[in-house]
Amino acid sequence: MNNQPNLTIERSAVELTKEDFVSDQMVKWCPGCGAHAILSSVANVFPKIGYRKENFMFVSGIGCSSRFPYYVNTYGIHGIHGRAAAIASGVKIANPHLSVWIATGDGDSMAIGGNHFIHIIRRNIDVNIMLFNNQIYGLTKGQYSPTTPMGSVTKTSPQGTIEHPFNPGELVLGAQGTFFARVVDTNPRLMTEVMFEAAKHDGTSVVEILQNCVIFADKTHDVVTNKDVRDDRQIVLRNGEPMIFGKNRDKGIRLNGTRLEVVTLGENGITEDDLLVHDAYQQDPGIHLMLAKMAYPHFPVALGVIRAAMYPTYDDMVEDQITYAKSTSKIKNVDDLLNSGDTWEIK
Amino acid sequence: MVKTKSKVIQRDDIVVKFVGDSGDGMQLSGTLFSDTAALAGLDLATFPDYPAEIRAPHNTIAGVSGFQVHVGSKKIETTGDMCDVLVAMNPASLRSNLKWAKQGATIITDEDAFDEAALKKSGYTENPLENDSLSGFNLVKAPITTLTREAVKSLGIDNKSADRSKNMFGLGIVYHLLGLSLESTYEFFNKKFKNKPEVIAANRAVLEAGFNYADTVEALSSVYQVPKAKMEPGRYRNITGNVATAWGFLAASERSGRPLFLGSYPITPATEILIELAKYKSLGAKVFQAEDEIAGITSAIGASYTGSLALTTTSGPGLSLKSEAIGLAVMTELPLVIVNVQRGGPSTGLPTKSEQSDLYQALFGRNGEAPVVVIAASSSANCFYYAYMASKIAMEHMTPVILLTDGYLGNGSQLFRIPKVADLPAINPPIAVANDPDYKPYRRDPATLARKWALPGTEGLRHRVGGLEKEDIYGNVSTDPMNHQKMVDLREAKVQKVADFIPEQEISGDQEGELLVISWGGTQGTVTEAVEEVQKSGKKISHAHFHYIMPLPKNTGELLKRFSKILVCELNSGQFVNYLRMTHPENKYMKYNKVQGLPFTVTELVNVFNATLEEK
Q: Domains, chain A, ranges and CATH?
A: 18-239+278-326 (3.40.50.970), 242-277 (no CATH)
- Is residue B170 within 8 Å of B89, Cβ to Cβ? yes
Q: With an 8 Å Cβ cutoff, is A88 touching chain B?
A: yes
Chain B positions touching A11 (Cβ under 8 A) are none
Across the interface, which of B281, B301, B467 has its CB nearest the CB of A325? B281
CA gap A125, B318 in Å, rounded = 25
Predicted TM-score of the model (pTM): 0.95
Across the interface, whether the CB atoms of A331 and B280 are under 8 A apart is answered: yes
Band (pLDDT 50/70/90 cuts) for residue A4 is: low
Task: State the smallest CA–CA distance between residue A194 and chain B in angstroms.
Answer: 25
The answer to whether A319 contacts chain B (CB < 8 Å) is: no
CB-closest option in A93, A331, A343 to B282:
A331
Coil/strand/helix, residue B156: coil
Residue B394 has a pLDDT of 98
Instruction: Flag whether pLDDT at A74 surpasses 50.
Output: yes
Q: How far apart are CA A37 and CA B333, in angstroms?
A: 32
Instruction: Mutation target for B interface from A10, A19, A89, A125: give the one with most B CBs within 10 A.
Output: A89
Say if B462 is an interface residue toward chain A (CB within 8 Å). yes
Record: contact B299-A86, CB cut-off 8 A? yes
Find the CB nearest A54 among B324, B332, B457. Answer: B457
Buried b or exposed e, range A234-267, using 16+ CB within 10 angstroms: bbbbeeeebbbbbeeeebbbbeeeeebebbebee
Who's near A9: CB < 8 A, 6+ residues apart? Answer: A51, A52, A55, A97, A98, A99
The verdict on B299 touching A (C-beta cutoff 8 Å) is: yes
Please name the residues between 3 and 62 in chain A that touch chain B, using a CB distance below 8 Å: 10, 23, 25, 52-55, 57-59, 62
- Taking the C-alpha atoms of residue B113 and residue B119, their distance in angstroms, rounded to an integer, is 9
Given its phi and psi angles, is residue A142 left (phi above 0), alpha (psi -120 to 50 degrees) or beta?
left
Mean pLDDT of A29-42: 94
A73 pLDDT more than 90: yes
- Counting residues of chain A whose pLDDT is more than 70, the rounded percentage is 98
Residue A108 has pLDDT above 90, yes or no: yes
Is some CB atom of chain A closer than 8 A to the CB atom of B301? yes
Provide the 10 A C-beta neighbour count for residue A222: 12
User: What is the least distance, in Å, from the CA of A339 to any CA of chain B?
Assistant: 7
Taking the Cβ of residue B76 and every Cβ of chain A, the question of whether any pair is shorter than 8 Å is answered with no
- Eight-state DSSP code of residue A164: P
Question: How many residues are there in chain B?
Answer: 616
- Report the pLDDT value the prediction gives residue B109, as an integer from 0 to 100: 96
Type of residue at B163: D
Q: Could you check whether B237-423 and B513-614 share the same CATH topology? A: yes
B35 touches A: beta carbon within 8 Å: yes
A115 contacts B465? CB cut-off 8 A: no
From A55, which residue of chain B is nearest by alpha-carbon distance?
A: B457
pLDDT of amino acid A342: 86
Q: Are B419 and A339 an interchain contact pair (Cβ–Cβ within 8 Å)?
A: no
Nearest CA-CA partner of B114 in B84, B144, B136: B144
CB-CB neighbors (< 8 A) of B479 in chain A: none
Give one word for A235, left, alpha or beta, with left for phi > 0 and alpha for psi -120 to 50. beta
> A131: left (phi > 0), else alpha (psi -120 to 50), else beta?
beta
Alpha carbon distance A226, A245 (integer Å): 15
Tell me the per-residue pLDDT of A175-207, one tens digit each, with 9 for 90 and over.
999 999 999 999 999 999 999 999 999 999 999
Give chain B positions within 8 Å (CB) of A76: 463-466
| Contact residues on chain A for B186, CB-CB shorter than 8 A | none
The model's confidence at residue A7, banded by pLDDT at 50, 70 and 90, is low
Q: Where are the domains of chain B?
A: 7-225, 237-423, 513-614
Interface contact A69-B464, CB threshold 8 A: yes
**A2 has pLDDT over 70:** no
Rounded-to-10 torsion of CA A189, A192, A194, A195: 170
CB contacts, 8 Å: B291 with chain A: 86, 115-116, 119
Q: Which of B259, B284, B298 sits opposite A87 (nearest CB)?
A: B298
**A97-108 as b/e: b if 16+ CB within 10 A:** ebbbbbbbbbbb
CB contact under 8 A, B456 and A326: no
| A94·B306 Cβ contact <8 A | yes
Extract the residue ranges of chain B whose pLDDT is less than 70. 1-6, 52, 218-219
The answer to whether residue A1 scores a pLDDT higher than 70 is no
Class of domain B7-225: alpha beta
User: Are A75 and B301 inside 8 Å of each other by CB?
Assistant: no
Range A220-239 average pLDDT: 95
Output the pLDDT for position B270: 97
Burial of A52 (0-12, 13-18, 19+ CB in 10 A): middle
- Cβ–Cβ under 8 Å, residues A132 and A34: yes
Asked if CATH classification 3.40.50.2000 holds for the domain at B513-614, the reply, yes or no, is: no
Cβ contact A75–B235 (<8 Å): no
A259 in contact with B at a CB cutoff of 8 Å? no
Burial of B465 (0-12, 13-18, 19+ CB in 10 A): buried
> Are the C-beta atoms of residues B174 and B109 closer than 8 Å to each other?
no
CATH code for B237-423? Answer: 3.40.50.970
- Among the listed residues B66, B65, B63, the one whose alpha carbon sits nearest the alpha carbon of residue B17: B66
C-alpha B596/C-alpha B593 separation (Å) is: 10
What is the strand order of the sheet B309-314 is part of? B286-289, B260-264, B309-314, B336-342, B400-406, B373-376, B548-550
In this complex, do B282 and A89 lie within 8 Å of one another by their Cβ atoms? no
Asked whether the beta carbons of B334 and B261 are under 8 A apart, the reply is no
B323 touches chain A (CB under 8 A): no
Cβ-based burial of B323 (10 A; exposed 0-12, middle 13-18, buried ≥19)? middle
- Quick one: pLDDT at residue B50? 75
B185 reaches A (C-beta below 8 A): no
